[in-house]
Structure 1
Amino acid sequence: MKILLTGFDPFGGESINPSWEVVRRIPKKIKDTEIKGIQIPTVFQKSFEVLKKEIESFNPDVVICVGQAGGRQGITPERIAINIDDARIADNEENQPIDFPIQKDGESAYFSTLPIKAMVDKMIASGFPASVSNTAGTFVCNHIMYQVLYYASKNHPSLKVGFIHVPFLPEQVKEKNQYPSMELEEMVHALTLCVETVIEYQDKEDLKTIGGAIH
């Protein structure tokens, strides 16, 4: 089994992106599964162009994309990606699509094919703040999640795909301490648990536990 992890480069004026800092520290082998981490650009179309080449060369069984969700308190596996780009800020190449469909022939939305509730359960049991997220936003994080799920549906139906958001690092919130943060070592441990869960659940259905939200 092979798992491909992705993290983004810094964006929005930040000098660091916790998603890449976490991904590049995940062990290269977990439970006899080969793990590869790559950095992708925080650029709408280019992000998937880079990732698609890596998928076709590495031929993974699972793709887990990781991104920064500044303001969130814990680790949040995403449930769904929607077919829209609506950028509140420009990406790293000054693209700012508004109400633009990601794939004209794609579904309105695609659901993660990872065991997101089992991941959350395992993280919480290990003492980490975690929850299922029901929105990946409308920026590059949602874009890449949608693109990979669309690609899998058209080309590799057996490919498992999902997205996980991580919070700010402490050094990112020194001057904006109203935002929660999480230590890098904790994020690495939590994401490693997510990868372990994906491996454990490769032939099993996800847990049927409460992961919904009122708003």
Structure 2
Amino acid sequence: MPSKILLTSFQTWLPHQVSNSSDDLIEKILDDTDSFEALSVSLIALRQLPVDVPQASRLAIAKIAELQPDAVICCGMAEKRTQLTVESGASSRYVFFPISLAIYCLSLWEIVSFNALQYGLPALFYTNERSDSNYLKTPVNLEELLVDLIQTEISHNAGQFVCEGLYYEVLNYLREHHPHIPCIFLHVPVLTPDNSLNIVADFRAIICRLASLEKFYNPHSFVQVAQ
């Protein structure tokens, strides 16, 4: 039976963005579904999630509950990065305020450059102030997962924005309800003619490796660290 891999991407959130690179990457990988099917890997995409933690989390968790996938790969854009980065975990402290109002507030400040916002809003804006702030680490063995990949590295900074919020909420849901389902989050740089080939190849390898769950995943190794 094919391994079902759920992929998620986000919409854009700033005026200058023509597309979200996470969605661009998933679009490219979906063009190669035949080769994945030959490897008994079935890709299901939940594309262009809203840039809003509660909405995005509800949609992603509902899809996980419906599909019961063998693995989940959430993706988001990091405009200022040059490598594909896999996030080691996520904190419960993240920006959650409705993005449209936050962008409007920022637009009133002439000193703010939208191009300078790597993930979206800075952490000083509308941070989730849970008193039980925790950090959840993915149970996936990232060092093993990324061996010999050309343009991918591990990151320990998920951005304190909607990407980190989605990652935390999905990890928390899986930890409580489906600990056998692994999940990782990929931050995708803007795709260019120079980096696209290697990033697509690395993403393809990550998907195929996650389908081999025994080697890269320990369902009992969720780590929750109080902050």
Q: TM-score scaled by structure 2?
A: 0.74
Q: Is the 8 A contact 2:144 2:216 kept in 1?
A: no
Q: 1:205 to 1:60 in 2, by over 3 A?
A: closer
- Equivalent pairs counted in the alignment come to 187
Q: CA deviation at 1:101?
A: 4.1
Of all paired residues, the percent bearing the same amino acid is 22
Matched with 2:207 is 195
Matched with 1:44 is 53
Q: 1:187 to 1:91 in 2, by over 3 A?
A: farther
Q: SS of 2:76's equivalent?
A: strand
Task: Give the greater-gyration-radius structure (CA).
Answer: 2
Q: Match for 1:164 among 186, 191, 205?
A: 186
Q: CA deviation at 1:197?
A: 1.7
Give the unaligned 5+ runs of structure 1. Answer: 171-180, 207-215
Q: Is the 8 A contact 2:70 2:211 kept in 1?
A: no
Amino acid at match of 2:85: T
Q: Is the 8 A contact 1:75 1:130 kept in 2?
A: yes
Looking at structure 2, the residues matched to 110 and 182 of structure 1 have their Cα atoms a distance apart, in angstroms, of 34
Q: Is the 8 A contact 2:80 2:189 kept in 1?
A: yes
The root-mean-square deviation of aligned C-alpha atoms, in Å, is: 2.3
Looking at structure 1, the residues matched to 173 and 10 of structure 2 have their Cα atoms a distance apart, in angstroms, of 19
Matched, 1:33 2:41: yes
Matched, 1:2 2:14: no
The structure whose residues are more often helix, as a share, is 2
Matched, 1:66 2:75: yes
Q: TM-score scaled by structure 1?
A: 0.77
Looking at structure 2, the residues matched to 22 and 205 of structure 1 have their Cα atoms a distance apart, in angstroms, of 23
Looking at structure 1, the residues matched to 88 and 200 of structure 2 have their Cα atoms a distance apart, in angstroms, of 21
Amino acid at match of 2:201: H
Looking at structure 2, the residues matched to 74 and 151 of structure 1 have their Cα atoms a distance apart, in angstroms, of 28
Alignment of 1:199-210 (within 5 A): 199-200=211-212, 202-205=213-216
Looking at structure 2, the residues matched to 92 and 15 of structure 1 have their Cα atoms a distance apart, in angstroms, of 17
Q: Match for 2:135 among 101, 105, 109?
A: 109
Matched, 1:139 2:161: yes
Q: Deviations over 1:104-151 (max 9, x none)?
A: 76x60111122322232231xxxx222110110100110111010000
Q: CA deviation at 1:205?
A: 4.5
Q: SS of 1:73's equivalent?
A: coil
Matched, 1:99 2:99: no
Matched, 1:119 2:142: no
Matched, 1:19 2:31: no
Give the unaligned 5+ runs of structure 2. Answer: 103-120, 218-227
Q: Is the 8 A contact 2:210 2:216 kept in 1?
A: no
Looking at structure 1, the residues matched to 62 and 44 of structure 2 have their Cα atoms a distance apart, in angstroms, of 14
Looking at structure 2, the residues matched to 50 and 148 of structure 1 have their Cα atoms a distance apart, in angstroms, of 10
Amino acid at match of 1:204: K
